[in-house]
Structure 1
Amino acid sequence: MTVETAKGSLVRSLQIGRDAMLWKLEGASDYDVRRPLTPTGTNLLGLVKHLAYVELGYFVDTFGREMPVDTPWHDDVEGGVEDDPHADMVATAEESRDDVIDLYRLAWDHAGRTFRHLELGDTGRVPHWPEDRNEVTLHQMLVWVIAETHRHAGHADILRETLDGLAGHRPDVSNLPEDYDWEAHVARVEQVAQQFR
């Protein structure tokens, strides 16, 4: 495998996770994509907003490229980390679903510029990491953000299934068996779990 095909493979893997994240928003109401579905307030639109800033931080700022927008981590941003360390995990009332999706796509565009201009071995610095390990390669950051994106895609899958039963990997391939008796399956899982009460 050449360096170029290795980079292409990593970028494709990242895009699969990105697409899954946006698919999880499709067809859900504005309320449902915003409402907290866990005790820590995790919500679908917040996950997308968070990943937009993850990509901007790790693929743009880390490699010394100009940031296209302010981030919640800038102290002078109203509602930023000084006010709330989780400001990137929730869409404000002023931010529409389209605003957040546009931000995510803007991050993809700027990340793509980094991918086109740098090789996997090229280095940058993650400003908020400890100095003894903040020098990183594009390869490291691609692996890091792929893991982060797919982790949150898993969260989004569970959140969306909780909302309305929509589950699976992609719209055209759910990775779930068709015509499966889910009610019986859940009953079997519960029956085994009950033995350990």
Structure 2
Amino acid sequence: MQQPPEQVPAPLDGPAVDVSDAHELLLGYLEWYREALMRKLAGLSDNQLRTPVEPLGWSPLGLVQHLGWVERRWLRWGFGAEDVVAYPAGGDAEEWAVAADTSAAQVMATYQAEVIAANSATGTATLSDKAHLGGRFKTPDQAPSLGRILFHLLQEYARHVGQLDVGRELIDGETGE
């Protein structure tokens, strides 16, 4: 009787399999999701990036813009207590809708700038470090740890990148990993 071919497990997404440090794992997975976002947008035309996907109601570029605001709110304003605008004046509608005179390159550059600033805000922090007071959090009992914030960001990215998989399949039939 012939033996079935040996199954080789697929490599794990995210940080290398030998990474066990929680800080390195959380930041590594956050970076992996940021990169996954960009991979899932690759190959879309400007029109496809801008057109709201029905029945989802948002465009892929609007999702990128939203995640830039999320980075800003949680890591810069939240953890770092930076004095930044945390929400657009027009609320959710403005956060998700890209203005016609804003190029895709501008949205991507703004998102990347928020990622760089967020990484700077957390660069030397440990997972148990509490958010600085004065930004999003006003009192010590409101201030979560960096670890808690990173867990929140991971679930936010996982959800939205998964939604983008659905959006991409509706746009052009491409499916994600």
TM-score by length of 1: 0.70
Unaligned 5+ segments in structure 1 are 75-79, 170-197
Match of 1:159 among 156, 163, 167: 167
What is the CA RMSD across the aligned residues, in angstroms?
2.5
Structure 2: segments with no counterpart, 5+ residues: 1-19
What one-letter code is carried by the residue in structure 2 that aligns with 1:106? A
Question: Which stretches of structure 1, 4 residues or more, deviate above 3 A after TM superposition?
Answer: 64-67, 125-134
Q: Aligned-pair distance for 1:117?
A: 2.3
Q: CA deviation at 1:149?
A: 0.7
Alignment of 1:6-155 (within 5 A): 6-39=22-55, 41-66=57-82, 70-71=85-86, 73=87, 80-81=89-90, 84-124=91-131, 134-155=142-163
Identity %: 29
Q: What is the CA-CA distance between 1:86 and the residue it aligns to?
A: 2.4
1:179 aligns to what?
none
Select between 160-169 and 49-58 the one with higher mean Cα deviation.
Answer: 160-169
Aligned counterparts of 1:152 and 1:126: Cα–Cα separation in 2: 29
| 1:35-88 superposed Cα distances (whole Å, 9 cap, x missing partner) | 111345221011111011101110111123436x645x25xxxxx23xx43211
Count how many residue pairs are aligned between Structure 1 and Structure 2.
157
Give me the whole-angstrom Cα distance separating, in 2, the residues matched to 1:86 and 1:12: 31
- Structure 2 length-normalised TM: 0.78
1:168 to 149, 157, 176: 176
The letter of the residue matching 2:157 is: T
Aligned counterparts of 2:22 and 2:30: Cα–Cα separation in 1: 13
